[in-house]
Structure 1
Amino acid sequence: MSASVSESTGDRFSYRCHYGATVLDDHRTRFTLWAPDAETVRLELSRTPGGEPEVLSMEKGQNGHFALELECPPGAHYRYRISDDLAVPDPAARAQHEDITGPSVVIDPQGHGWKNSHWQGRPWHETVILEVHVGVLGGFDGVRKRLQDWAGMGITAIELMPVNEFPGARNWGYDGVLPYAVEASYGTPDQLKAMIDEAHGLGLMVFLDVVYNHFGPDGNYLPHYAGDFFTGERTPWGDEIDFERPQVRDFFIDNALMWVEEYRFDGLRFDAVHAINNDGFLREMSERIKAQVNDTRHIHLMLENERNSASLLESTYTAQWNDDIHNVLHALLTGEHEGYYADYCDHATDKLASALHGGFIFQGQNDRHGHSRGEPSGHLPPTAFIAFLQNHDQVGNRAMGERLISLVDQERLEAATALLLLCPMIPMLFMGEESGEQHPFLFFTDHRDELADAVREGRRSEFADFSHFKDEKTRAQIPDPNAVSTFEQSCLKSESMDDPEAAMWRTRYMTLLDIRHAEIIPRLPGTRPMGAVPLGEGAILAHWRMGDGTVLAIAVNLGKQRVSIDAPEGQRLYELGESDDATTLAPGAVRACLSSHL
């Protein structure tokens, strides 16, 4: 089996993986499949799309690997014939024809010539993320049309929800089964590269969500020929993946490196790694990615991790999505207390102070289920935490997909936004947030037949314990994930300069981001928290010692009552709300100051 290797020729890049169809030159391709449970594997190859396939025996090597090298141009279609009654797509295919069950397509990774091949990325402390779903924006070309506008607002990175192949044409992407293949309904691999290339030309980093903790329920053929890919145990999301096996590790680490090296992504966000019960694999993956890039580019590796493993953030990973700070802010703003918000609604102001000072709220305490969660995180810099008021999970996993703008009064939402964009944690926005989007973002899929029924009923049953949805008739109003209308409701409206409401919100975000870029970002390296104290219900005064020795103070009142305050001293960076009384802070008010001392 050939080793993986990164290759570049001027303005063209590729990453040669252990598995899949590897284009060796203009005429020859090598096919490699790990199928330890198969006695024989035959390659069904159509050298021209739609042509009559040739059936060719693959050579069986050690440890269940099958390989074949032959004359084959890019664009050819192929499948692996495992048995007389089973032909499967390539699990490491870079593209598919006719969805996940169709033939795989041979892709030449060096087909795209990069205009911005010398782009090296941006330092992490400059990051301001906008999370986007490619499908609701009209595919890769639709995203591309918005890049200049986002860059002009002060966004420095866009984070794409997963773009690998999934069943059908509408999906969040987190239950995909072909992690190497670009989703055909979004565009081609070269269109994705062109979008990333243009983003780099505008100074924008591009991050990608990747899912290595499970495969989706439709189209996963690995158990038929590689049972050793799995442990034999079941998880809530399907068969547990065996990360102890080197072939499995190579499969996923190669995938990460392909996105970084071949597609030139500036970073990856690893979805729900708490479902990967193997920190050794997580550490190896980070180490191999960093060794491959070798300090030639800024590459940022982010986690979603309910375990709050602060140790993984000390040197292994760049940062973690901080669900704790989102959850406590949401509880304070909305008063919601069901589901996981039950862990945050009691003593919420104290918990917000804890998050602003020490990163995680749960640093080993028991949650509502009596389970200890988290590790001490106070020694980590604020930039190890990604803060947000909304994301795809927190909006889309609501029954009706409501955005925060429809749940909270405008003054307090503005105040929370100011805290988000001016505090030293790395801020993240969810697409549409920057322009006051009020359309919902719903959970949508494109499943068929029995699976579609199961997903619809499963989705509605998830909310049976919530007070508003205890009645079956009420639950029936929850949108059907498989309905085209559910997807269409989630699509962002076209940007219009004539929309005064959108223009108002955009001005607010640009004002705050201008301040962040001018006054906060240059001082972020070396920043340490100095403490955060409650001023009253929902009101906080927090201080940070910035990297240049100055002190940033932010006072914010997310509550509904006026509170007393010792007015922060120094240069006034931003003020929101009533300013005629320096000794009190009105609901929805914010004061941010920068001084040379505390």
Structure 2
Amino acid sequence: MGIEVWAPRAARVRLRRPGHDDVELTAGDAGWWSVDVTLEGGDEYGFVLGDAEAARPDPRSRRQPRGVHELSAWDDGTSFAWTDGEWTGRDLASALIYELHLGTFTPEGTLDAAIGKLPHLVELGVTHVELLPVNGFNGTHNWGYDGVLWYTVQEDYGGPEAYRRFVDAAHAAGIAVIQDVVYNHLGPSGNYLPEYGPYLRDGQNTTWGASVNLDERAVRDYITDNALMWLRDYHVDGLRLDAVHALHESAGSPTHLLQEIAERSDALSAELGRPLSLIAESDLNDPVMILPRSAGGYGLSAQWVDDWHHAVHVALTGETAGYYADFADPQALPKTWAGGFYHDGTYSSFRGKNWGAPVPPEVPSTRFVEFAQDHDQIGNRAAGDRLSQRLSFARLQIAAVLTMTAPGTPMLFMGEEWGASTPWQFFTSHPEPELAEATRKGRTAEFAAMGWDESLVPDPNDPATFERSKLDWAEATGGDHRRLLQGYRMLARLRRERPELTDPDRAGHTGEHVAPGRWVLHRGAAAVYVNLSETDWAVEVGDDQEIWLATTTAHDGAPVEEGPVTLSPDSVAVIGPRLTPPMSRGYAEYVQAE
């Protein structure tokens, strides 16, 4: 077996293993070092660079049993007995994505505990589960974006073997797995990569730290190999690529990193015979992310659309501070409904310049991942408060309908389906007091600059901040929480059964702001009527139409055979072609059902 490591900054490299003498590695081409040594599963090892005394973990370590500052443990996954040989994958078309953070999804905060919740996701109608980053970080709990060893699975979640169990179980349940990965920066503790080589770019930073050096071929390979590891070795079905706008390349780079990842992913997809999805998080509002490579794009499967979130959020909450200001425009909701981006070359008052670019009409709507809540939009509020902590039950129902009938690919954030009352706050567990204090001060200053009440900002390093962010599953079984959950299940069923709600042709996705607080949003022959005004709204129902869903209290949600339906204040209806047989139960009756 050959052990190799890229360490161009080292004049000497030794392999260290407990109970063995250090072994010298031989220098090869382009900064690579190698040695012919056999490691067994679980064997601990590390590399001693130059004349240093301490060993460093392997940059490509698959397991760190004692943390990111300690020796690596050999793990090649060959002992795991996969049972998903018949799994053919799931495409994003007609998908319902469910974003979750392993540490707060269950009381135990582990992959094995998350397996126990898969039946809940199946009943909800989830097709894809998206895991926040699981790569190795220092400490015991973290959002995951402070990772420093990208090839590892955090031991607190159960390590690589538990990760395999989770993916295998998800596939057995018919659920695809998307892994959130971070390639734009590294965390502040345990990052030894600069001792090995120029992994970071000198003099250029992102919001979260030094920029990754994408001008170095070995660093690009480090990233693309990592992407393929998740998809191939861990049987993952897709990747969510964090903050790709922070991937900085030289102007002369012949191929963008995202295109490289997409090309390798597509080749692997053809080899495996199952779809593999790449989803970008980008605030650039640039369709280049999702345009096919033949049209000059990077060829990614989809991208998150914050503009859709902002339009829905402002309509429901009335908040207009900061980047929400432009979305006070009542045309924001129909515009993002029709085209994904609100800023498509228009002026952004928050950025002080024109922003974005138009989306070509041939781009299918399913390439936009749309959500009313996600980890960022909740966790980066001062108090980490969800919509459930600010909206009435009636408006939570409207948020549900808008999300589940959205023209794009809908995504839920864990607990959203029952209106979880628990916050989801920004938490860390930095063992270093100086890092804990710097993080605390940084968060407070950030929110003060935005005009938030500093007293609302919890201490990220206080264990209580992490604990209060855990879901309370018991509340999903009663009252309005249960009613909302039943509503989401009905909406997922409706989306599966009605082709109008998954048709990706954007020509049929139009919308109008018809009066203050009132919108009509079309999905081909179906339409969503939203009444956020303070008065009733009489909506006509054609002879060939029926109400698929209504939350209005004026009719108690019962199907209307003819004549107008009256939408009470803070209600929504979905009206479409008459079904054969007609829908058997109205929304109100359905959500009351056990």
- TM-score, scaled relative to structure 1: 0.88
Paired residue for 1:331?
314
1:123 maps to 2:106: no
Paired residue for 2:27?
60
Identify the range of structure 1 (360-369 vs 447-456) with the bigger mean alpha-carbon deviation. 360-369
Is the partner of 1:366 in helix, strand or coil?
A: strand
Deviation of 1:511 (Å): 1.2
Is the partner of 1:286 in helix, strand or coil?
A: helix
Paired residue for 1:463?
447
Paired residue for 2:374?
391
Identify the range of structure 1 (108-117 vs 261-270) with the bigger mean alpha-carbon deviation. 108-117
> Compared with structure 1, are the counterparts of its residues 523 and 398 closer, same or farther at alpha carbon in structure 2 (3 Å cutoff)?
closer
Matched AA of 1:75: G
Deviation of 1:175 (Å): 1.4
Q: 2:10 aligns with which of 31, 35, 38?
A: 38
Deviation of 1:300 (Å): 1.2
Contact 2:541 2:575 in 1 (8 A): no
Q: CA RMSD, aligned part only?
A: 2.0
Matched AA of 2:6: W
Q: Which whole-Å CA distance do the structure 1 matches of 2:533 and 2:78 have between them?
A: 55
Contact 1:89 1:101 in 2 (8 A): yes
> Compared with structure 1, are the counterparts of its residues 465 and 515 closer, same or farther at alpha carbon in structure 2 (3 Å cutoff)?
same
Cα offsets for 1:574-593 (capped at 9, x unmatched): 12214568276432222212
Matched AA of 1:73: E
Deviation of 1:468 (Å): 4.2
Deviation of 1:123 (Å): 2.3
Matched AA of 2:96: V
1:97 maps to 2:79: no
Deviation of 1:372 (Å): 2.6
Is the partner of 2:93 in helix, strand or coil?
A: helix
1:372 maps to 2:393: no
Deviation of 1:118 (Å): 2.1
Q: 2:300 aligns with which of 298, 317, 323?
A: 317
Cα offsets for 1:492-522 (capped at 9, x unmatched): 1234675334322221111111111111478
Matched AA of 2:208: W
Q: 2:280 aligns with which of 285, 290, 303?
A: 303
Paired residue for 2:590?
none
Contact 1:424 1:520 in 2 (8 A): no
> Compared with structure 1, are the counterparts of its residues 249 and 150 closer, same or farther at alpha carbon in structure 2 (3 Å cutoff)?
same
Deviation of 1:179 (Å): 0.5
Deviation of 1:365 (Å): 1.6
Q: Which whole-Å CA distance do the structure 2 matches of 1:265 and 1:62 have between them?
A: 32
Paired residue for 1:412?
395
Paired residue for 1:442?
425
Matched AA of 2:550: E
Paired residue for 2:481?
502
Structure 2, unaligned stretches of length 5 or more?
250-254, 293-298, 556-562, 579-594
Contact 1:97 1:105 in 2 (8 A): yes
> Compared with structure 1, are the counterparts of its residues 248 and 468 closer, same or farther at alpha carbon in structure 2 (3 Å cutoff)?
closer
Paired residue for 1:570?
545
Paired residue for 1:244?
215
Is the partner of 1:148 in helix, strand or coil?
A: helix
Paired residue for 1:156?
127
Contact 1:565 1:583 in 2 (8 A): yes
1:557 maps to 2:531: yes
Deviation of 1:354 (Å): 0.4
Q: Which whole-Å CA distance do the structure 1 matches of 2:68 and 2:78 have between them?
A: 24
Is the partner of 2:448 in helix, strand or coil?
A: coil
Matched AA of 2:353: H
Matched AA of 2:444: R
Contact 2:500 2:526 in 1 (8 A): no
Contact 2:103 2:141 in 1 (8 A): yes
Cα offsets for 1:349-386 (capped at 9, x unmatched): 20111001111111112212223321211512221111
Cα offsets for 1:79-105 (capped at 9, x unmatched): 111133353111110010211101111
- Of all paired residues, the percent bearing the same amino acid is 35
> Compared with structure 1, are the counterparts of its residues 96 and 365 closer, same or farther at alpha carbon in structure 2 (3 Å cutoff)?
same
Q: Which whole-Å CA distance do the structure 2 matches of 1:572 and 1:563 have between them?
A: 15
Q: Which whole-Å CA distance do the structure 2 matches of 1:595 and 1:477 have between them?
A: 48
Cα offsets for 1:337-358 (capped at 9, x unmatched): 222212322x1x2011100111
- TM-score, scaled relative to structure 2: 0.89
Deviation of 1:228 (Å): 5.5
> Compared with structure 1, are the counterparts of its residues 277 and 372 closer, same or farther at alpha carbon in structure 2 (3 Å cutoff)?
farther
Q: 1:284 aligns with which of 249, 253, 260?
A: 260
Q: Which whole-Å CA distance do the structure 2 matches of 1:525 and 1:320 have between them?
A: 15
Deviation of 1:252 (Å): 0.5
Identify the range of structure 1 (492-501 vs 257-266) with the bigger mean alpha-carbon deviation. 492-501
1:452 maps to 2:436: yes
Identify the range of structure 1 (413-422 vs 265-274) with the bigger mean alpha-carbon deviation. 413-422
Q: Which whole-Å CA distance do the structure 2 matches of 1:131 and 1:498 have between them?
A: 21
Matched AA of 1:155: V
Q: Which whole-Å CA distance do the structure 2 matches of 1:457 and 1:505 have between them?
A: 38
Q: 1:77 aligns with which of 29, 37, 44?
A: 44
Q: Which whole-Å CA distance do the structure 2 matches of 1:559 and 1:419 have between them?
A: 16
Identify the range of structure 1 (70-79 vs 575-584) with the bigger mean alpha-carbon deviation. 575-584
Q: 1:531 aligns with which of 478, 492, 510?
A: 510
Q: Which whole-Å CA distance do the structure 2 matches of 1:559 and 1:249 have between them?
A: 52
Q: 2:78 aligns with which of 85, 100, 110?
A: 110
Q: Which whole-Å CA distance do the structure 2 matches of 1:318 and 1:219 have between them?
A: 33
Q: Which whole-Å CA distance do the structure 1 matches of 2:256 and 2:425 have between them?
A: 35
Contact 1:163 1:183 in 2 (8 A): yes
Q: Which whole-Å CA distance do the structure 1 matches of 2:366 and 2:204 have between them?
A: 37
Paired residue for 1:357?
338
Matched AA of 1:533: E
Cα offsets for 1:436-470 (capped at 9, x unmatched): 2101111000112101110011111111134442x
Matched AA of 2:486: T
Matched AA of 2:82: W
Contact 2:17 2:45 in 1 (8 A): yes
Q: Which whole-Å CA distance do the structure 2 matches of 1:417 and 1:332 have between them?
A: 14
Identify the range of structure 1 (366-375 vs 321-330) with the bigger mean alpha-carbon deviation. 366-375
Q: Which whole-Å CA distance do the structure 1 matches of 2:184 and 2:508 have between them?
A: 33
Is the partner of 2:47 in helix, strand or coil?
A: strand
Matched AA of 1:290: D
Is the partner of 1:593 in helix, strand or coil?
A: strand
Is the partner of 1:174 in helix, strand or coil?
A: coil
Q: 2:112 aligns with which of 124, 127, 141?
A: 141
Deviation of 1:559 (Å): 4.0
Task: Considering fraction of residues, name the structure with more strand.
Answer: 1
Deviation of 1:290 (Å): 0.7
Cα offsets for 1:415-436 (capped at 9, x unmatched): 1211211233211111111122
Q: Which whole-Å CA distance do the structure 2 matches of 1:406 and 1:560 have between them?
A: 21
> Compared with structure 1, are the counterparts of its residues 175 and 55 closer, same or farther at alpha carbon in structure 2 (3 Å cutoff)?
same
Q: Which whole-Å CA distance do the structure 1 matches of 2:354 and 2:227 have between them?
A: 31
Q: Which whole-Å CA distance do the structure 1 matches of 2:541 and 2:360 have between them?
A: 26
> Compared with structure 1, are the counterparts of its residues 236 and 122 closer, same or farther at alpha carbon in structure 2 (3 Å cutoff)?
closer
Q: Which whole-Å CA distance do the structure 1 matches of 2:533 and 2:367 have between them?
A: 27
Paired residue for 1:20?
none
